Amino acid sequence: MIDLKHITFGYDDKMIFEDVSVIFDAHWKLALVGRNGRGKTTLMNLLLGKLPFSGSCHSDVVFTYFPQKIADKTQLTKFILDDLYDFEDWQIQRELNLLGLSSDILWRPYETLSGGEQTKVLLAGLFLDETHFPLIDEPTNHLDTASRAKIATYLQAKNLGYIVASHDRKFLDTVSDHLLAIERNGLELLATNFSTYEVQKKQRDAFEMAENNKRKSEIGRLKKTARDKSNWSRNREKDKYGKPDKKGSGAIADTGFIGTRAARMMKKSKILERRMTSEIVEKEKLLKNLEKVDSLSIAYQPSHRKLLLNEDNMTVAFDNEQALFEPIKFQQKASQITAITGQNGIGKTQLLNKLVAIAESKKLKISRVRQIYEDNQGDLKTFAEKNQLDYTAFLNNLRKLGMAREVFNQKIEQMSMGQQKKVELAKSLSESAELYIWDEPLNYLDVFNHEQIKKLLQTIKPALIIVEHDATFIQNIADQVIDLKQVIYF
């Protein structure tokens, strides 16, 4: 068992966990979900003993973390695994085979492996020691659909427990039998998958929203009644101090009567006010701190052209080498969403780069979301000015994406990967464009953000070319899907 009791932890400017307790079986396959910044990676670091906290954590397992930091990526993959894990060669070869990799990969420099291969290699060592309990943090980032499915099948077949955090709904449903949700007001442990949790949460939030509205209405009525009673008593008390000989002074001749009556009413009013104040406090305690997700905005500028791009026999190659994928016919219409799919390494990003160059040559106004955005640096205001963004619209989209206001004062390069991704996305949303070109926009974003982006695209229908590995998301937003096929050479 893994037993967390009265855990409290926070950073200088933000409380993450406050007196939370949870106990779960070390044989469970536990999906860890919650909004970005809510504390998923922090919880893993608490279990690993990397952060100081008040409370207690008791377990009979050794926690191991994925993805591991690789100091020297130029080493052979075999030597990197030797440093990370204790294993016999046949054991690692068995795990690699289950993940669809040849043992030859062990003798390649780690840096030459694709992102999917690196992920699989590091996962292969996690389950070699049965006393270990893996903490698997975002294993699906940058993976194509086939690689996600392979890793999901691999984890599903394991008899050992683990915690896995991912923003891929389908992946989580496949690899978990329990779910731990980090909510605004604490932890919630459920014996269900993510899809069921999501449906139940939406129903619960809708009910609690209606209850909140009722309570707010009652609180408003109680406050008004308390104010009215208090005002009446004060006014009656003033009456006895008017001037009886002056017309219109409001004085009442029998000040003894009015004074006694006012005092009696004042006493009743104070009692009523105290009772109502107490009732208001109790009702305010019942108000739920619900998850609020605002609609995003986009500065889409519909083009006067009906057909934005029309290219025949498109493909890409590195340095005049052989083509990466079979030639395609590419057409992009105004107010059309085009998804580009294909396995890792087939050239999706290179195709996007080529389409950007063609769009620019046609004087189309474009906006991009890139996979790599390390050049986004400095404070947000300077960044907005440099990129000619409407600063208010830019900050509004960041806030709607769930970026905490205290993060607004940080330099972009000091932000977490999720926050940096939000900067890149909010930049694109705030740019006026005829055509948007997005390369894996969902990486590092939580499921609430996924839903926001989905609803925005379904509502606005901008001209968009998108590469994204979340099959469910693509199914919900795309008007056409172009699947790149690998060229087979003999």
DSSP H helices in 287-404: 348-361, 380-386, 391-400
Over residues 356-395, the pLDDT tens digits come to 999 999 999 999 999 889 899 999 999 999 999 999 999 9
Pairing of the two strands 328-333 and 307-314: antiparallel
Closest CA to 147 of 112, 178, 114, 191: 114
Q: What is the pLDDT of residue 322?
A: 82
User: In this predicted structure, what is the pLDDT of residue 353?
Assistant: 93
Q: 438 versus 290: which is more confidently predicted?
A: 438
Does residue 285 have a pLDDT over 90?
no
pLDDT at 418 over 90: no
Dump pLDDT digits (tens) for 340-353.
999 887 889 889 99
Q: What's the confidence (pLDDT) of residue 443?
A: 87
Does 258 or 144 have the greater pLDDT score? 144
Say what the pLDDT of residue 437 is.
98
Contact between 433 and 367 (Cβ < 8 Å): yes
Percent of the chain with pLDDT over 90: 43
- Starting at the earlier edge strand, list the strands of the sheet with 435-439: 366-369, 435-439, 464-467, 337-341, 480-483
Q: What is the pLDDT of residues 94-120, one digit of tens each?
A: 999 999 888 899 998 998 887 778 889
| Average pLDDT of the segment spanning 435-458 | 92
Which CATH number is associated with domain 307-483? Answer: 3.40.50.300
Tokens of 156: 């599903």
Does the pLDDT value for residue 243 go beyond 60? Answer: no
Res 287 pLDDT > 70:
no
In tens, the pLDDT along 182-236 reads 887 788 899 988 888 888 887 877 777 777 777 777 767 777 776 776 666 666 6
Domain 2-184 has CATH 3.30.565.10: no
115-124 vs 145-157: helix crossing angle, rounded to 10: 10
Mean pLDDT across the stretch 415-424? 90
The stretch 430-440 carries a mean pLDDT of 96
